Amino acid sequence: MVAQLTKASAATTVASAFSKPALAAAARPLHDILPSLGASGAIYAAVSLTALGFPDSEVSLIFLPGVLIPSQAAVGGLVCLDIVGVLRGWRMFDHYAHLGGALFGAVYWAWGPRFWDWMRVRLARPEVAKGVQSGEKET
């Protein structure tokens, strides 16, 4: 589980770092696009993955500690805020990286574990791959 979390974290950081130039190139001239590290996009991916994986979970804002918000509604609100930020041209936050991270989190929730199982089967020794395909646990 820790290995899968590490892989997912590295992949989300890379994906969100590259999502800004990829998405912004369609909206702005290339000389206006600033570089991005992708760390906040990785956090967005983790938050969206958590909201999709645990739909009954709730979050609280630091300035409203007693008010609980369903996590899916909170992530939806953050994504809407970032969409507005992209459309309005706000530059305080890296809205493209946030949206790329949220998209990666949703894609990882849908296909991530199956992708890693597929990679393990493709790259593993034949005797290990046979056990993975049959559902046996590796010792």
Tell me which of 16, 19, 40, 60 is the catalytic residue: 40
Choosing from 19, 57, 98, 134, which is the catalytic residue? 98
Annotated catalytic, 98?
yes
Q: What is the rounded distance in angstroms from the CA atom of residue 2 to the CA atom of residue 78?
A: 27
> Which letter, b or e, does each residue of 64-96 get, where b requires 16 or more Cβ atoms within 10 Å of its Cβ?
eeeeeeebbebbeebbeebeebeeeeeeeebbb
Whether 19 is catalytic is no
Concatenating the DSSP letter of every residue in 16-36 gives HHHHHHHHHTTTS-GGGPPP-
Q: Which two tokens stand for residue 20?
A: 């800004």
Helix 2-24 × helix 95-123 angle, to 10°: 130
Active-site residues, by number, are: 40, 98
